[in-house]
A and B are shown apart, each in its own frame.
Chain A
Amino acid sequence: MYDFELRRPENLSEAIESLSADGAQALAGGQTLIPTLKNRLASPDVLVSIGGLAELQGVSESNGVVSIKAGTTHGVVAGSVKSYPALAALAANIGDPAVRNRGTIGGSIANNDPSACYPAATLASKATIITSKRSIPSSDFFVGIFETVLDEGELITQVDFEVPDVANYQKFDQPASRFALVGVFLARYGNDVRVAVTGASEDGVFRWSEAEQALGSDFSASAIDRLEVDAEGMIEDIHGSKDYRASLIKVLTKRAVKAC
């Protein structure tokens, strides 16, 4: 690791102040950032530790919206989000128990790893990402792999999920990292069905609109029998070809429908 200054602000406004410095970067749970630093793939001058800030902790649920503060760990989401079981189940299957005790929802979404689980959930469940500056609909938030619309120094403070009628997340593990080789988050709001896919595309998380339409008019696994995902633009690596990922998207979407 290159050396840096580690700051531990007392509160959110101090954190935001610290993040305005040149070369400053937020440190949430650190479960991705610290391994990156170890390999000297990042060289921040200042790391601002925000994971422990009380203002960024907690889950609340009202009027069909689950609000999760950005510093809430996956473990807490898994254990305390009662009105959105599919989201709790997703959180319960990120990484491993020790990672879930540190990794945060804000960190995961800000990082936008193409194989992370949360981006699919936010996209499928009409989430709003609230930052230190503004509110951003999830549909506008993700730009590309590891890229979001967040500005320098802008911090996610909360994520609001609209709780769907039914939802299910199907994750097919990449055999080594246990990240999603492909993950499909399906959420149904009446006839509005959303299918968000992570792990598969070279452009990062996306919605499979053909399946959404088909399921909107017929919410059954057979409704997408005739659809095929175009393999073009899918990720190809040692764990699977483009065709394989395209096929998994359909298989997992059908399983998600059946599980609802």
Chain B
Amino acid sequence: MPENGIGASSVRREDIRFLSGNGKYTDDINVHGQKYVFFLRSDVAHGKINSIDTSKAEAVSGVVGIFTGDDFVEVGGLPCGWQVTDRFGEVMKEPGHPVLAQGKVRHVGDPIAAVVADSLEIARDAAEVINVDLEELPAVVDMKAAVEGGTLVHDEIETNLCYDWGFVEENRDAVDEAIKSAHHVTTLELVNNRLVPNAMEPRVAIGDYDASNDQSTLYTTSQNPHVIRLLMGAFVLQIPEHKLRVVAPDVGGGFGSKIFHYAEEAFCTLAARKLRVPVKWTASRTESFITDAHGRDHVTKIELALDENGMFQAIRTDTCANMGAYLSTFSTSVPTWLHGTLMAGNYKTPLIYVNVKAVFTNTVPVDAYRGAGRPEATFQLERVIDKAAREMGMDPVEIRRKNFIQKDEFPYATPVALEYDTGDYDATMDKLHEIADLDGYEARAKASREKGLLRGLGINCYIEACGIAPSNLVGMLGARAGLYESATVRVNATGSITVMTGCHSHGQGHETTFPQVIADMIGISEDQVHIQHGDTSNTPMGMGTYGSRSIAVGGAAMVRATEKIIAKAKKIAAHLMEASAEDIELKDGSFSVVGTDKSVGWGDVCLAAYVPHNYPLEELEPGLEETAFYDPANFTFPAGAYACEVEVDPDTGKVDICSFAATDDFGNVINPMVVDGQVHGGIAQGIGQALREHAFYDENGQLLSGTYMDYSMPRADDLPSFVVDHSCQTPCTHNPLGVKGCGEAGAIGSPPAVVNAVIDALNKGGFDVNHIDMPLSPSRVWTAING
């Protein structure tokens, strides 16, 4: 393993500030003279606002301003970034999403009014004396009931159905026919449970306004400050970009939940302009539970048709996807283009049809959460395959292997519109066999039985599509944004480098891994490279960090910019050495003339660029700074195979994860240690989904698991150490680094492994249980055994 550059497990430089308490998160920022906002939020899921009387609240000493929906009539609503067209050619229903509720509240947590005061406690005191005449309406929570009509979340669109999407619509009849005539059809109805992302840092927004130059600044906990600037500036507040700066400093985790543009960001920005004081909002965790976009929440029926040899013939899947009360920024794309297109998985199923009905309910909006659509696709596919293997008496590994796309069949076009560039699914399965010690399973099962416990083994594969692109294609599919990434590489006069990227690092380690790439390309120390991100005022327009895109798209942009730097530096070096640029070679930070012993160092060339005394000024501009925007030709397709072993206590229903092994093909890997960490975290979130986590709404739309007292976060003693491997590498063929992305894999691949393992344990223990819906809590498993 190298000690520097690509492939080195360099320790993270950003850790120094985090470990010494010097991280600078948004809540650590205090703007001189700032005031604090408290949002009065609806405690009912659905209601009509007859009137709001703020007079008593206004009289509370220390109150600076009180706002209601009426104050935001003149500005736009929060926009949705993806317009889905349904299977009849109609565009989706797109109801308004006001910053503060206007006329109606539509979920518990919907903001009714906002009080700005000298302190948060004063704001809260005042909010308690706002008199809201709120007429509670029946809430619609269950998706099937919502589709059938009755109570409407949005009266003006006259339905709760956002869209009815079919993919690939032309395949519909052929899939129906294949299923009708198949040797065997396995059917599974399942729920992909609603989750709360729960980044450990609650969201924060600080709006500031400088009247001297009419400049607004928003400090916010965001994964993509440029996207927030564009959405909030252009669509909500009508502030042009040159008058609006968005800063996302250190951000304490995102997992998707900090992609979206939220009402509180627009509120603080506008309130600061109106009141001429900085306005700060810090979410309490309780508030996070009812305002951060939730994830998943699909109800699905999947059918898999097989021939007598277990070869997959067709897949038909119907899903209801919960949008919640409003369309969050990328909500509409998740159950469609990030879900339906993944239904082929790692297999050669010739015919696939996906139907998705997106539904409004009186619940918190649902949007992308780590994996976003791909976990939902993988879960239903890998669960139905496991059930099919059981029904047909086949080994779950063998049924998968015989249906794999083979390594010599790439590039492979699936029937759901994707073209996989590379892969070797047998290689990852072989590696899994080794690292999970599958040969030793029977001995371990025997030991479990002797303890009175049921042991089970779950194995599954996954594929994901990362770095969503290219922009012209996603535009045709309904995206209202481009999906390129940018980098400016600024070489300083003495040879150090500052890279300004549109990506954002909130745990991924870009400040360490991006320099590894540049160090490798130029042959300088990683220490010479600094990564700057998170501030629209000093980074080029970029789309941010989500969808495992940063190295595949942002890294590629940085490579392209660095290539331009090297090309120019070679011309300077050629001038200095009186040679032709074509003959210059860059190695280990030194430019040499091929076939001679002439060389000049990186630092000398950089200095010449900025002190251009001996310089070809007539041909070349001074300076050494380049920008690149990279728009990928295709997605990348990481894939892998996961194995989970569990012990189930049949008396209590408690499931213990005994071991978890993951083999991933991420293509080339920049920093193995960081990649391992990403996989670990994803697996933990997937295990959390499978066994513990559930945003549980009652029929009145109250979130019953609205704090850590009831929402079960995985803790250290719930998990084992993991065995992970990414030595099987089929590099991506269409980006310059051959990388695929690793951020979401663990969360995508792990839920089916856990559930497959529990179902295996129960069946081997003599309990005829086909499926249990996640989370497989002790009470649910006990009920399945005893029910």
Contacts and interface: CB of A to CB of B under 8 A. Distances in A.
B783 interface: yes
A251 B649 CA distance: 11
B705 A240 contact: no
A253 to B, nearest CB: 12
Interface string B650-674: 0111100000000000000000000
A98 interface: no
A131 to B, nearest CB: 29
Given A238-B704, A241-B783, A248-B652, A177 B709 contact: yes
Contact of A175 (B124, B692, B696): B692
Given A40-B124, A238-B696, A251-B651, A176 B782 contact: no
B710 interface: yes
Contact of B705 (A1, A39, A176, A179): A176
Contacts of B712: 175-176
Contacts of B692: 175-176
A244 interface: yes
Nearest to A3: B121
Contacts of B694: 238
Interface in A51-67: none
A55 B124 CA distance: 38
Contacts of A1: 121
A65 B653 CA distance: 38
Contact of B708 (A177, A239, A251): A177
A3 B124 CA distance: 12
A239 B782 CA distance: 12
Contact of A39 (B286, B654, B708, B779): B286
B396 interface: no
B777 interface: yes
Contact of B711 (A176, A247, A248): A176
A103 B709 CA distance: 17
Contacts of B652: 172, 248, 251
A122 B713 CA distance: 31
Interface in B108-138: 121, 124
B778 A177 contact: no
Interface residues of A, number: 21
Nearest to A39: B286
Main secondary structure of the interface of B (DSSP, over half): loop
Contacts of B653: 244
Given A172-B652, A248-B652, A251-B652, A241 B779 contact: yes
Interface string A1-25: 1010000000000000000000000
Interface in A170-218: 172, 175-177, 179, 181
B518 to A, nearest CB: 42
Nearest to B128: A40
B722 to A, nearest CB: 20
Contacts of A239: 710, 777, 779
A177 B782 contact: no
Contacts of B778: 172, 175, 181, 240, 244
A244 B121 contact: no
A38 B285 CA distance: 11
A248 B783 CA distance: 12
Select the residue from B124, B777, B786 with max chain A CB neighbours within 10 A: B777
A79 to B, nearest CB: 20
Contacts of B651: 251
Contacts of A176: 692, 705, 708-713
A241 B780 CA distance: 9
Given A3-B121, A175-B777, A238-B704, A244 B783 contact: yes
A39 to B, nearest CB: 7
B106 to A, nearest CB: 23
Select the residue from B652, B694, B713 with max chain A CB neighbours within 10 A: B652
Interface in B678-716: 692, 694, 696, 704-705, 708-713
Nearest to B692: A175
Contacts of A177: 708-710
Contacts of A40: 124
A123 B708 CA distance: 29
Interface string A21-58: 00000000000000000111000000000000000000
Select the residue from A176, A237, A238, A247 with max chain B CB neighbours within 10 A: A176
Contacts of A38: 284
Interface string B755-787: 000000000000000000000011100110010
A247 B696 contact: no
A247 B705 CA distance: 24
A247 B782 contact: yes
A238 B783 contact: no
Nearest to B705: A238
Nearest to A236: B779
A238 B782 CA distance: 14
B264 to A, nearest CB: 20
Interface in A227-245: 237-241, 243-244
Contacts of A244: 653, 778-779, 782-783
B68 to A, nearest CB: 22
A1 to B, nearest CB: 7
A38 B286 CA distance: 11
Contacts of B777: 175, 239
A181 B653 CA distance: 13
A211 B711 CA distance: 33
Nearest to A175: B712
A244 B708 CA distance: 22
B787 to A, nearest CB: 10
A40 B127 CA distance: 13
A123 to B, nearest CB: 23
Contacts of B121: 1, 3
A239 B704 CA distance: 11
Interface string B286-304: 1000000000000000000
Contacts of B286: 39
A40 B125 CA distance: 10
Contacts of A241: 779, 783
A239 B691 CA distance: 12
Select the residue from A38, A175, A240 with max chain B CB neighbours within 10 A: A175
Contacts of B713: 176
Contacts of B704: 237-238
A181 B622 CA distance: 71
Contacts of A251: 651-652
Nearest to A115: B709
Nearest to A182: B652
Interface string A241-260: 10110011001000000000
B736 to A, nearest CB: 45
A215 to B, nearest CB: 18
A251 B786 CA distance: 14
A219 to B, nearest CB: 20
Contacts of A237: 704
A22 B490 CA distance: 68
Contacts of A39: 286
Nearest to A172: B652
Interface string B501-539: 000000000000000000000000000000000000000
B354 to A, nearest CB: 31
Nearest to A240: B779
Contacts of A240: 778-779
A94 to B, nearest CB: 15
A241 B782 CA distance: 10
A244 to B, nearest CB: 5
Nearest to A241: B779
Nearest to B714: A175
8 contacts: A175-B692, A176-B709, A176-B711, A238-B705, A240-B779, A244-B653, A244-B778, A248-B652
Given A177-B710, A243-B786, 11 more contacts: A1-B121, A172-B652, A175-B778, A176-B710, A179-B709, A238-B694, A244-B653, A244-B783, A247-B782, A248-B652, A251-B652
Q: 9 tightest A-B contacts by CB?
A: A176-B712, A240-B779, A175-B712, A177-B709, A251-B651, A244-B779, A238-B696, A176-B710, A238-B704
